[in-house]
Structure 1
Amino acid sequence: MINVHSYESMGTFDGPGLRLVVFLQGCPFRCLYCANPDTIDVKGGTPTPPNEILQMAISQKAFFGKKGGITFSGGEPTLQAEALIPLFKDLKDNDIHICLDTNGGIWNNNVEELVGLTDLILLDIKQFNPERHRMLTGRGNEQTLRTANWLEEHAHPFWLRYVLVPGYSDFEEDIRLLGEHFGKYQNIQRVEILPYHRLGVHKYEAMGWDYQLKEVKENSPEQLEQAEMLFKEYFANVIVN
């Protein structure tokens, strides 16, 4: 069984083309700006037979076109790597393009096999500076960087995604260090700058949790433009989502 939080049909945000997005339950990170705090607890969600997800993808395949497919997001989908491996193999047998949206913070034999079955990785880099990463997520970024290195060494295509949080991940020095580290990578097909938003704040209130970034305002157009110019010094294909 796979523990599913929710689905989004005809998604255009999480990977190329039109996609069925499967949000899985459970995440080891505690990002201060998390828009889906209700996906964090591994005990939530709905236990779902893998075949149910497979049939859903097959039924929507006609809408995917040449670019679309299925994306597994979360939460953190690699927490359920072992259960996902047979499903990914079935999806591949049905010629369905697979994206995996991950923070890259978990690595083991099951995750390695799962990544090998995935067509495109959407790798969320929360912060390059390790101290600020820990402040933002509650975890270090060492494994995320190792995961990126594995993808590069194995010529596995991936997109790099970066949420621009004012006062937390928008420092020029940190973005430049990230650019210097990843700028020579050959397998980063695209860099996505994701604006910080407050869409999940009502969920914190409903759950009785304290939203710690109450004072942080959403990015101004100028801040996004400045970040885009900075990233473009190091990467060819930069998109502000």
Structure 2
Amino acid sequence: MSTTTDRTTGRIHSWDLSTGVDGPGTRFVLFVSGCPLRCLYCANPDTWHMRDGRQATVDEVMADIEKYRAFISTAGGGVTITGGEPLLQPAFTAAVLRRCQEAGLHTALDTSGFLGARAPDDLLADTDLVLLDIKAFDVTTYRKLTGGELSPTLNFATRLDRLGNSMWIRYVLVPGWTDDPEAINGLARFLAGLGTIDRVEILPFHELGAAKYDALGLPFPLRETPSPGPELVRRVREQFRQRGLTAF
């Protein structure tokens, strides 16, 4: 591990180890606190507010990563920064990514792209993979679903492509919200025009985060929304594949 020290501080929620869902291999996944969006299907409402996280220095985070560095390296993994929204704390996120690069660890950034303009080029240069969450492709649906605007995410995707950053696109499939065939075709056309997309992941909506809303005393907006059936999931994957994209 690099002997560089960095006392830059950030607000973090927690960390975990995962395999196959937060980038390639076994990953050390750092959850930072704070998010500007309020997605109706969010599974982590406990990461919305920075005040609910704990303050940590980059050195402290790297000390935790060091405990698992040999394991995650052997397992073909690395470090993923997620949240919340990592780009709400760009200086802290950039410092962690830089230290991971110095340590020879694969790095991934999981982001909605809504704050993509806050990511300086040097942060992205230290990012091996961007897990870009595109919540919807219809502008009105995106606003209703997230409370934010779609264009910053699309602009960020275009910028990542220009910079040569590899991307995995994540698309949460929510019946009645993000399953419109025309909107999905539009997104597939947009993505097909970018050259650095390695895969598109179709993530079926689920209610696994509902218990967190109950614990926080918050209503879960999509409690009555069903998970998509296998036929719908296959149809959406095929729409992306028809545009030459690798979809899972």
Structures share a fold, TM > 0.5?
Answer: yes
Q: 2:81 aligns with which of 69, 72, 75?
A: 72
What is aligned with 1:28? 36
Q: Is the 8 A contact 2:117 2:152 kept in 1?
A: no
- Give the TM-score of the pair, scaled to structure 1: 0.95
Q: Which moved more, 1:103-112 or 1:75-84?
A: 103-112
Compute the displacement of 1:186 (Å): 1.0
What is aligned with 2:26? 18
- Distance across 2 between alignment mates of 1:173 and 1:228: 14
What is the letter of the counterpart of residue 130 of structure 1?
V
What is aligned with 2:6? none
Q: Do structure 1's residue 201 and structure 2's residue 242 form an aligned pair?
A: no
What is the letter of the counterpart of residue 159 of structure 2?
W
Compute the displacement of 1:66 (Å): 6.3
What is aligned with 1:190? 199
What is the letter of the counterpart of residue 165 of structure 2?
H
What is aligned with 1:104? 113
Q: Is the 8 A contact 1:191 1:235 kept in 2?
A: no
Q: Quickly say closer, same or farther: Cα 1:235–1:29, change in 2 above 3 A.
A: farther
Q: Is the 8 A contact 1:103 1:144 kept in 2?
A: yes
What is the letter of the counterpart of residue 152 of structure 2?
Q
What is aligned with 1:230? 239
Q: Which moved more, 1:110-119 or 1:19-28?
A: 110-119
Query: Which ranges in structure 1 are unaligned for 5 or more consecutive residues?
Result: none
Q: 1:90 aligns with which of 81, 99, 119?
A: 99
- CA-to-partner distance for each residue in 1:134-176, whole Å, 9 max, x for gaps? 0100001110000000011111111111000110011101000
Q: Quickly say closer, same or farther: Cα 1:38–1:135, change in 2 above 3 A.
A: same
Question: SS state of the match for residue 238, structure 1?
Answer: coil
- Give the TM-score of the pair, scaled to structure 2: 0.92
Runs of 4+ with deviation above 6 angstroms: none
- Distance across 2 between alignment mates of 1:67 and 1:128: 33
What is the letter of the counterpart of residue 234 of structure 2?
E
How many residue pairs get aligned? The number is 239
Query: Which ranges in structure 2 are unaligned for 5 or more consecutive residues?
Result: 1-8
